[in-house]
Amino acid sequence: MSFWHDQEVLHGITTRAYFFDSRQIQQETALSIRALPFLLEMPLKTLCTEQDRKNFFTGEIAAQPDAVFEHTTGLISLEYKYAGYQQHHQEQWRRQIRLKDMLQCLIAGYAVAQNYKKITACVLRYHNVCYMLTPSAAVIHTVFDLIPLAKQYFSQKRYVAASKLAQFASQKVQDTFPGPEDKRSKEGRAAHESLLRR
């Protein structure tokens, strides 16, 4: 795990974190290096970016990833979240990463993979960290089983956008698959047990 700075299974999604100096990376001229700093030495071909307004459709899903790169025989689908340039920290990232963002990244990556028929890695990038996301099959099934309800909820007849499906599915995934338990949660549980002991 030396390449990655940390990793954890969050909500049924194996999440690997790579932190970097955002100021230094922003000076890079190559898009692929700015977007994916952990692949500095790898030649990547940019297939599309958000500016191209390229939509990917599969089944009843419509997605527009922020960028898609070709890497050897596979692809990388990138979701970038501005979030006010908020820094993520190695001690706190499990609480800082947003489940909705994770699901949107995965749904878009799935749509990309289905369109190109290639193995696709899903990367969620914030200001100073990249997260490589690998979902369990159960998470994917849980999200996709909600497509009909999401379409009905958002009054969509043909497709539901990846962002809307992610929003709709977040609570179900959160309730079904365990997330991070931080120090405050443990302290809170201990305080309750102490106060309410009989």
- The pLDDT tens digits for 116-140 are 999 999 999 999 999 999 999 999 9
Residue 44's domain comprises 6-195
Position 1 scores a pLDDT of 46
The pLDDT > 70 percentage for the chain reads: 92
Q: What domain count does the chain have?
A: 1
Residue 47, pLDDT score: 97
- 82 compared with 169, residue with greater pLDDT: 169
- Looking at the DSSP bridge assignments, the partners of residue 62 are 57, 161
127 found inside a domain? yes
The total number of residues shown for the chain amounts to 198
Please report whether residue 161 resides in a domain.
yes
Across the range 20-41, mean pLDDT stands at 90
DSSP state of 180: -
70/45 Cα distance (integer angstroms): 5
Residue 1 lies in a domain: no
Residue 87 lies in a domain: yes
Joined together, the tokens standing for residue 193 give: 């047990």
Tokens 């898609």, residue? 68
Residue 125 lies in a domain: yes
* pTM score of the predicted model: 0.90
Q: 29 phi and psi, to 5 degrees?
A: -85, -30
